[in-house]
Amino acid sequence: MAIIDAMDVRGLDLNLLIPLRVLLTERHVTRAAERLGITQPAMSASLARLRALFDDQLLVRGPKGLAPTVRGQQLLNQLDQVIGVIEQLVADPKEFVPGTSRRTFTLIGTDFIETLLLPSLMADLAVEAPGVQVVFRPPDPKNLEALMSEGEVDLAVGYLPDAPKGLITSVAFHDRFACIARRNHPQLSADQFPLDQFVDLKHVQVLPRNLPMYGMPIDAALGALGFVRRVALWHPSFQALPAIVANTDLVATLPRRLAMHAARTLPIAVYDPPLPLPAVDFSLYWHARSHEDSGHKWLRSKVTALLRSAAG
C-alpha cells in the first residue's frame, strides 16, 4: 500500500498500475497491448511513462526477449499483492456459513427476552453453528443507535415504542398484558381481579434502565378513568417480579407470556387486566450498516423464528 501512497503523491495515474503489471507479466509489448485491448503504440507510450516515473527501464532486452529489471521484478511482486487486495475489496462478500463460522454476535434484551429466546437459540446453535458465539447484554435504549452504528451491538430485541428513528424495526411477536398475584391472595378471588382492587392494592413494576415503557400504558389507561395506582417497588428485572409477588401481597402487570411461564413454577395466579390495555409489540432492531450482511440476515431470521415459536 505504500507504493500507492507514494504514487499518489507524485501524481501518478493509478490506471497505469494495470498496464505495468501486464507488461511485467507478458514481457512483450504487443501481447500486453492485445491482452488489454489497446494498440501497440498506446502500450509503448504507457511503458515510456512508467520508465520515466520509476526512473528505471523496467524491461530490457535479453536472450529470450524482454526481461524485467531488478526494480521491475520488485514492482511485479508488490503489484501482485496490491491488486490482490483491490480484488478482495471489490469482490462479492463471502456468504455466511453457519456450520463453519466462528463469528461473535452481540444481542441486547431484557431478562424476559433471555428466558424466551436464549434456551432455544443456544440449543440450535450447538447443532447448526457450533463455532458461533453470543454475547447478551442488558437493555441500553439511550445508547442503542450509537452502539449499533459503531458495530458494538448487532441486534436488539424487545419493546421499544420510542426506538431511535435510525434503526430498522421488524415485529417478532405481539403480546398482551396480564396481572399476577399470589395464590389465595386475601383480597382477591381465584378468577376475578376487580378494578377497585387493582387500584387499591400495591404494585411492583418493572423499570428497565429507568425507562417507563412498561408502566406508562397502565398508568395512562388508569388516568383516563380517573384512577392512580400505588407502586410500592420499581425493579429493573422481569424475572424478579413473579417471585416477589408469590411471597407478598403485591401485584404486578407484565407480558402475558412471562406471567404464564412463571405460573408453571411459582404459586401465583394469572388474571386478565380489569381495564383495556394496549398490546405489546416485541421487535427486532438493527442498524442499516448490518442490513445486507449475510450473517446478520441469518441471525435475524433465526431469532425471529425462535421468538415466534416460543411465543406460541
| Among 198, 161, 159, residue whose Cα is nearest residue 175 | 159
- pLDDT class of 12 with cuts at 50, 70, 90: low
- Phi/psi of residue 95, each to 5°? -70, 140
Q: Residue 155: pLDDT above 70?
A: yes
Is the same domain home to 289 and 150? yes
- What is the pLDDT averaged over residues 46-50? 88
Is the same domain home to 262 and 300? no
Predicted local distance difference test score (pLDDT) of residue 13: 67
Please, what is the Cα angle at 280 between 278 and 286, to 5 degrees? 140
Task: Return mean pLDDT, the chain.
Answer: 88
- How many structural domains are present in the chain? 3
Is the same domain home to 20 and 63? yes
Is the same domain home to 13 and 75? yes
Q: What is the CATH number for 130?
A: 3.40.190.10
Q: For 259, how many CA atoms within 13 A lie in the half-sphere containing its CB?
A: 22
Is the same domain home to 226 and 141? no
Q: Residue 93: pLDDT above 70?
A: no
For residue 72, give its domain range: 2-90
Predicted local distance difference test score (pLDDT) of residue 251: 97
Q: For residues 96 and 48, is the Cβ–Cβ distance under 8 A?
A: no
Q: Does 98 reside within a domain? A: no
Query: pLDDT tens across 95-145, in order?
Result: 889 999 999 999 999 888 998 899 999 999 999 999 999 999 988 888 899
Q: Residue 6: pLDDT above 50?
A: no
Is the same domain home to 198 and 163? no
**Burial of 105 (C-beta count, 10 Å sphere; 0-12/13-18/19+):** buried
Is the same domain home to 169 and 207? no
- pLDDT class of 185 with cuts at 50, 70, 90: very high
- What is the pLDDT averaged over residues 278-296? 93
Q: For residues 288 and 165, is the Cβ–Cβ distance under 8 A?
A: no
Predicted local distance difference test score (pLDDT) of residue 191: 82
Highest mean pLDDT among 94-98, 157-161, 210-214: 157-161
Locate cell 500486453: which residue? 32
- Phi/psi of residue 105, each to 5°? -110, 135
Predicted local distance difference test score (pLDDT) of residue 101: 93
Locate cell 431484557: which residue? 110
Q: For residues 68 and 17, is the Cβ–Cβ distance under 8 A?
A: no
Query: pLDDT tens across 248-282, in order?
Result: 999 999 999 999 989 999 999 999 999 999 998 99
**Which helix (H) or strand (E) covers residue 90, if one does?**
helix 70-90
Residue ranges in 91-209 assigned as alpha helix (H)? 111-128, 144-149, 195-200
- What is the pLDDT averaged over residues 170-184? 94
Q: Does 70 reside within a domain? A: yes
| Among 145, 129, 80, 132, residue whose Cα is nearest residue 104 | 132
Is the same domain home to 201 and 223? yes
| Among 297, 21, 281, 271, residue whose Cα is nearest residue 174 | 281
* Whether pTM exceeds 0.95: no
CA distances from 121 to 159, 264, 284, 288, 310 (A): 19, 22, 15, 24, 11
Q: Does 97 reside within a domain? A: no
Q: What is the CATH number for 51?
A: 1.10.10.10
Is the same domain home to 206 and 85? no
Is the same domain home to 285 and 274? no
Is the same domain home to 169 and 285? yes
- pLDDT class of 20 with cuts at 50, 70, 90: confident
What does DSSP assign to residue 93?
A: P
